[in-house]
Amino acid sequence: MSRRGVAVSRASADALRVLGNQIRLARHARGWTIADLAARIDASRRTIVNIESGAPTVSIGTVFNAAFTVGVNLFGLEGPELARARRQGEDTLALLPSKVRKPASREEDDDDLAF
């Protein structure tokens, strides 16, 4: 699929727009131009425009870099709180089995034999 054809749900599109708006407002509050933010995160001006408009084609890392650079808190957490939440998530995931398998049902076995 081409980069222009990224399909997102309505909720995802709304979330992208909200984050883009927060980044734009924070950039304006700092008195930075699009070029200023682009230079600070080593991105093109077009990428900043895409971030601020909620385009789903920008890498999540680039969007997060822009958010942190202008001071937008992601997940409602700051610095040490964000690191703590990451560690807690990693600790919880370490307790889970490495593989999750769906038990095979009789119907699924029959479906596999149909031609």
- Give residue-wise pLDDT tens across range 80-91: 998 999 999 999
Query: How far, CA to CA in Å, does 4 sit from each of 47, 56, 62?
Result: 13, 9, 17
The better pLDDT of the pair 73, 32 is held by 32
Q: What span, in angstroms and rounded, lies between the C-alpha atoms of 89 and 10? A: 27
Least reliable range by pLDDT among 4-8, 49-53, 62-66: 4-8
Our CA dihedral for 32, 39, 58, 3, rounded to 10 degrees, sits at 130
pLDDT digits (tens, 9 = 90+) for 53-81: 999 999 999 999 999 999 999 888 888 99
Domains and CATH numbers, the chain: 9-95 (1.10.260.40)
Q: What span, in angstroms and rounded, lies between the C-alpha atoms of 55 and 20? A: 9
The pLDDT mean for the chain works out to 88
- At 107 the pLDDT is 60
- At 103 the pLDDT is 75
Pick from 16, 115, 4, 13: which is nearest to 66 by CA? 16
- Mean pLDDT across 14-36: 98
Helical spans, DSSP H, in 1-115: 10-29, 34-41, 45-53, 60-70, 79-95, 106-113
